[in-house]
Amino acid sequence: MILFPALFLSRLFKTGKMIGNHAAIINGCSYAIRSGNKIVFEATRVAETMKRDIYLIDIWGGVRGYTEALKDIMCYTGADYVVGIDVGGDVLAMGDEDELWSPLADAMGLAAIYDIGSSTLMVYSPGADGELPEEVVLERISLIANMGGYLGSIGVRREYTKFYEKLLENAHSEASRIGLLALKGFYGVKSIRSRTRKISVSPVNTIVFILAPEPALNISKPAQLVRNTESFVEAWRKLRENGIATEYDLENAILEYSRRAGKDPRRLSASEIIRIKNHLWKTVKDK
């Protein structure tokens, strides 16, 4: 069973079947409408490639809605356990790192799987998303191990390469592609996200680290702050009020900059995006 978080699913979802108030089953034909534009979920591409249904969770209902969605899906499928997988490891952020770009959805996911109880957190390919560097993620995993929360690790095997390649032909995930590069023997530095971030690629990027959710939550200020929130907006405000800027802030800042400059936000340079991000992070932290 594969789950993906999404935003405004209940308002914009066009094909598939809703499960409760905050989750849905989608397939390779599913999409949403946003500002008059057709949006195809990356999960749709995964469903199309795998020829199977995928479960989406609408995070508009905050962590309480997220948790309710997980329970509804577990009841619907008969599952009794949840595994949350984060590519890169920024789910282990403490909230004050300058390298962070997208702490909100990760914090909500960690809080939700902690609240479920019957769950495990996995971190795949440390540093692969260009946020927390590999060495920081490994340090956080060691900290969790010191708290008794390191449960082990597994490696992505060479025999999975063809399937991995096929999946990434349709699903656009630069962070997930780093693990494939490492699996195929690449060693060195890669740029992602329109060249706004650089990643050191090594065999470490083929490893999945298995962690207990409780100690992970105990080191994550963002996850602690968003627990018990009843809406996405409440979760966002909780982080912002505590000096933590999020991907939602960044998206709005990019749109505002583009509007004032008369530019297409999709065509901003890496230096422009980094400048917007750094200014935003400083502004939110200094409030």
User: Considering the domain boundaries, does residue 30 fall inside one?
Assistant: yes
d(CA 45, CA 281): 32
In a domain, 236, yes or no: no
> Which residue range(s) make up the domain with 14?
1-79
Same domain? For 62 and 94 the reply is: no
Same domain, 53 and 107: no
Same domain flag for 225 and 129: yes
The answer to the question of residue 172 being in a domain is yes
Please calculate the CA angle 112-14-168 and round it to the nearest 5 degrees: 65
d(CA 267, CA 162): 33
Whether residues 224 and 161 fall in one domain: yes
Residues 39 and 96 grouped into a single domain: no
- Return all residues near 271 (Cβ < 8 A) that are at least 6 apart: none
Q: Read off the tokens for 143.
A: 């900290």
Same domain, residue pair 112 and 222: yes
Q: What is the pLDDT of residues 52-110, one digit of tens each?
A: 888 999 999 999 999 999 999 999 999 999 999 999 999 999 999 989 999 999 999 99
Give the list of residues 6+ apart from residue 115 with CB closer than 8 angstroms, or none.
Answer: 63, 67, 227
Look at residue 4 in the predicted model and tell me its pLDDT.
54
Please tell me whether residues 3 and 100 are part of one structural domain: no
From 23, 56, 79, the end of a domain falls on: 79
Instruction: Report the number of distinct structural domains present in the chain.
Output: 2
pLDDT tens for the chain, 287 residues long, are 455 565 555 454 556 788 999 998 988 888 877 777 787 888 888 888 888 888 999 999 999 999 999 999 999 999 999 999 999 999 999 999 989 999 999 999 999 999 999 999 999 999 999 999 999 999 999 999 999 999 999 999 888 888 889 888 888 888 999 999 999 999 999 999 888 889 999 999 999 999 999 999 999 999 999 999 999 999 999 999 999 999 999 999 999 999 999 999 989 999 999 999 999 999 998 87
Tokens of 194: 């329109």
Does residue 64 fall inside a structural domain? Answer: yes
Torsion of CA 70, 74, 80, 83, to 10 degrees: -40
The gap from C-alpha 114 to its chain's centroid, in whole angstroms, comes to 16
The reply to whether 127 and 189 lie within a common domain is yes
Residue showing tokens 């959710």: 213
| Confidence (pTM) | 0.91
